């Protein structure tokens, strides 16, 4: 019996993998401490990046809300559908929160509140959200690997390599 197969659109796949690159770039270029933001060029680029990151997340959310269909097989347990939805929605909120808190840090720094209690709280929130994002991304990757081992075509719906073959 052939497995059910859902193929996400080229745009959905492109948005997913572009986001992987965008997030990776953000992690790679992250600053070590807020004092680096005294460099006006770096401060501007951090604010610009956070703004682009947020716009991208919002665009992707609106697009996927309109066209999203779960790649989970119809026979998958309800708990899998609920877990997938919880992780997906949580990632949108947490990643948006990272961008918003990053913008908050940048604007407070720009306005001269470099050592305020408020900026310290926002930095703490920013770092907490980043840690949560890493946990959610890890769960997402582990779930993708789980589905690849099950050969239920969930992996192949989004990943362009190691595609499952019909049985």
Digit-coded pLDDT (tens) for 4-58:
566 777 888 889 989 999 999 999 999 988 999 999 999 999 999 999 999 999 9
Residue 20 lies in a domain: yes
| DSSP symbol at 167 | -
Residue 37 lies in a domain: yes
Residue 72 lies in a domain: yes
Residue 14 lies in a domain: yes
pTM value? Answer: 0.87
Residue 162 lies in a domain: no
Listing DSSP states for 74-90 in one string gives TTS-HHHHHHHHHHHHH
Give the chain's domain count: 1
Residue 135 lies in a domain: yes
Range of the domain at 147: 10-157
Digit-coded pLDDT (tens) for 53-81:
999 999 999 998 898 777 787 788 899 98
Residue 164 lies in a domain: no
From residue 108, alpha-carbon distances to 50, 103, 120, 149, 152 in Å are 14, 8, 10, 47, 48
């Amino acid at each position: 019996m052939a497995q059910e197969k859902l193929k996400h659109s080229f745009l959905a796949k492109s948005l997913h993998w572009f986001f992987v690159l965008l997030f990776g770039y953000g992690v790679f270029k992250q600053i070590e401490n807020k004092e680096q933001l005294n460099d006006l060029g770096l401060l501007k680029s951090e604010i610009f990046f956070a703004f682009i990151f947020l716009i991208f997340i919002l665009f992707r959310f609106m697009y996927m809300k309109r066209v999203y269909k779960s790649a989970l097989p119809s026979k998958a347990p309800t708990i899998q559908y609920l877990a997938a939805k919880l992780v997906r929605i949580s990632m949108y909120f947490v990643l948006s929160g990272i961008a918003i808190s990053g913008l908050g840090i940048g604007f407070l720094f720009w306005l001269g509140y470099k050592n305020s209690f408020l900026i310290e709280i926002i930095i703490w929130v920013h770092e907490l959200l980043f840690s949560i994002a890493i946990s959610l991304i890890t769960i997402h990757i582990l779930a993708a690997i789980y589905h690849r081992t099950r050969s239920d075509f969930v992996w192949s719906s989004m990943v362009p390599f190691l595609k499952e073959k019909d049985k």
